[in-house]
């Protein structure tokens, strides 16, 4: 019995760690390579900037001021506030800002009744007039040169969409934010490596830019309006990439409850997205390269199951054979990780538990189609 548990433990551990370590090493090698793009540094297209809102009275003035101060030709900027039935002072504050800044091409498109972020963005999309559509969440701020640095990447005819790199403004505020920063550094490197291989569909709502010709509308099925739309762009035979120079700033919850709520919602959306990819892959219809899609599907859907099996095997070994050398090694390994690599250990554990929750939510039919404030 002990030999069987030992064999299962080694199998589950090898698959779990091998997936993470193997894929990270693979994309890291590509992240260091130069881009192979037809890049025009003078590319300056006209853009429609969509700002989705629902009860954003605390951030809307700061957001609109930030957009006003972006270093880009104002004649080529159209700003559309896409409001999903706000019940606070979001609209009145935005209208006041528009009146005080008549030099900006800015207007409000209202969604009523409330229909969710993707539907609201689609409503605003029909009102847009420019060939590049940019989406930015109301609680994020851009670096002043984000457009001049990011948009030239779209001069390549193969690129259908780009996303930016989010930086937390409150990294040092708590162990929660420090752990999230470590996770983001890992995720950014993975996204950059995928982009240089071909594409990444891990898009972030702080900055997403799409060629209007590359998609018909924002994804309303998975709840991931950013990443789901990136997948649609790929299925339309374009590439979608991370531009590391496109930096935007946001804040992450400082408490464990806020972290779990935020990451659970996002994980549920991404679980639905990767399940869609899995279905397309099985039908041989997925245009995202298999060397990206298969490891990502493993990480999001199957790795949490292997971790659960790993924990169950370890507990069974300790309970059934508490004085065995194997049990002692397991306990010492866990203690060692808690002491010497606590932040990484906890982040991997929490993230995979959240993914397990997301998998259960997906299988039971729960969807996030209407966004909530943190």
In this prediction, residues 138-164 reach a mean pLDDT of 97
Give the three-class secondary structure for 324. Answer: coil
- Among the ranges 2-16, 102-116, 227-241, which has the highest mean pLDDT value? 227-241
Number of Cα atoms under 13 Å in the Cβ half of residue 246? 27
What is the pLDDT at residue 183?
Answer: 86
Residue 124 in tokens: 């605003």
Report the percentage of the chain scoring pLDDT > 70.
Answer: 98
What is the pLDDT at residue 369?
Answer: 52
What is the pLDDT at residue 373?
Answer: 47
In this prediction, residues 287-315 reach a mean pLDDT of 95
Burial class (CB in 10 A: 0-12, 13-18, 19+), 100: exposed
Distance separating alpha carbons of residues 139 and 135, to the nearest angstrom: 12
| Structural domain 47-282, CATH architecture | Alpha-Beta Complex (3.90)
pLDDT tens column, 260-276: 888 888 899 899 999 99
> Among 26-30, 88-92, 167-171, 364-368, where is mean pLDDT lowest?
364-368
What is the pLDDT at residue 179?
Answer: 82
Burial class (CB in 10 A: 0-12, 13-18, 19+), 49: buried
Task: pLDDT band for 356, please (50, 70, 90 cuts).
Answer: very high
What is the pLDDT at residue 57?
Answer: 95
Task: pLDDT band for 222, please (50, 70, 90 cuts).
Answer: confident
Residue 158 in tokens: 């193969």
What is the pLDDT at residue 346?
Answer: 84
What is the pLDDT at residue 367?
Answer: 61
> Among 141-145, 312-316, 338-342, where is mean pLDDT lowest?
338-342
Residue 336 in tokens: 């060692």
Q: 184 or 163, which is more confident?
A: 163
Given a contact cutoff of 8 angstroms between Cβ atoms, the answer to whether 156 and 41 are in contact is: no
What is the pLDDT at residue 347?
Answer: 86
Q: Calculate the average pLDDT of the chain.
A: 92
Inform me whether the pLDDT recorded for 315 exceeds 80: yes
In this prediction, residues 2-21 reach a mean pLDDT of 93
Residue 75 in tokens: 């004649």
Instruction: Answer positive or negative: Cα dihedral of 19, 22, 25, 27.
Output: negative
Given a contact cutoff of 8 angstroms between Cβ atoms, the answer to whether 365 and 271 are in contact is: no
Inform me whether the pLDDT recorded for 196 exceeds 50: yes
Task: pLDDT band for 371, please (50, 70, 90 cuts).
Answer: low
Inform me whether the pLDDT recorded for 374 exceeds 70: no
Burial class (CB in 10 A: 0-12, 13-18, 19+), 174: middle
Inform me whether the pLDDT recorded for 114 exceeds 80: yes
Return the domain boundaries, the chain.
2-27+288-363, 47-282
In this prediction, residues 161-188 reach a mean pLDDT of 89
Distance separating alpha carbons of residues 210 and 231, to the nearest angstrom: 12
In this prediction, residues 118-126 reach a mean pLDDT of 95
pTM: predicted TM-score of the whole model, two decimal places:
0.91
CA-nearest of 273, 267, 256 to 222 is 273
Task: pLDDT band for 372, please (50, 70, 90 cuts).
Answer: low
């Amino acid at each position: 019995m002990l030999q069987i548990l030992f064999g299962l433990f080694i199998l589950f551990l090898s698959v779990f760690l091998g997936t993470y370590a193997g894929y990270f090493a693979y994309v890291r090698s590509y992240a260091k390579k130069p881009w192979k793009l037809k890049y025009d540094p003078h590319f300056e297209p006209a853009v429609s900037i969509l700002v989705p809102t629902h009860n954003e009275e605390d951030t809307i003035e700061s957001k609109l001021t930030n957009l006003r101060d972006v270093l880009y030709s104002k004649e080529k900027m159209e700003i559309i506030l896409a409001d999903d039935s706000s019940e606070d002072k979001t609209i009145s504050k935005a209208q006041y800002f528009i009146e005080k800044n008549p030099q900006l091409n800015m207007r409000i498109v209202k969604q009523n009744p409330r229909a969710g972020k993707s539907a609201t963005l689609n409503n605003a999309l029909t009102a847009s007039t420019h060939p590049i559509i940019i989406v930015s969440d109301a609680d994020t701020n851009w670096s002043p040169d984000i457009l001049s640095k990011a948009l030239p990447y779209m001069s390549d005819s193969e690129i259908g969409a780009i996303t930016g790199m989010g930086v937390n403004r409150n990294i040092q505020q708590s162990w929660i934010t420090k752990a999230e920063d470590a996770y983001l550094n890992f995720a950014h490197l993975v996204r950059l490596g995928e982009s240089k291989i071909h594409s990444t569909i891990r898009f972030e709502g702080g900055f997403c830019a799409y060629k209007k010709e590359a998609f018909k509308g924002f994804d309303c099925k998975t709840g991931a309006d950013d990443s789901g739309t990136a997948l649609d762009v790929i299925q339309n035979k374009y590439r979608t990439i991370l531009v590391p120079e496109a930096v935007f700033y946001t804040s992450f919850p400082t408490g464990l409850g806020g972290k779990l709520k935020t990451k659970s919602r996002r994980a549920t959306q991404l679980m639905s997205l990767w399940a869609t990819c899995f279905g397309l892959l099985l039908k041989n219809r997925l245009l995202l390269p298999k060397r990206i899609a298969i490891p990502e599907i493993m990480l999001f859907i199957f790795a949490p199951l292997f971790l659960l099996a790993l924990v169950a095997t370890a507990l069974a070994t300790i309970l059934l054979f508490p004085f065995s050398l194997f049990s002692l090694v397991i306990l010492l390994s866990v203690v060692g990780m808690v002491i010497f690599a606590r932040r990484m250990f906890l982040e991997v554990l929490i993230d995979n538990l959240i993914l397990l929750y997301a998998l259960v939510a997906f299988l039971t039919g729960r969807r996030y189609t209407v966004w909530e404030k943190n």
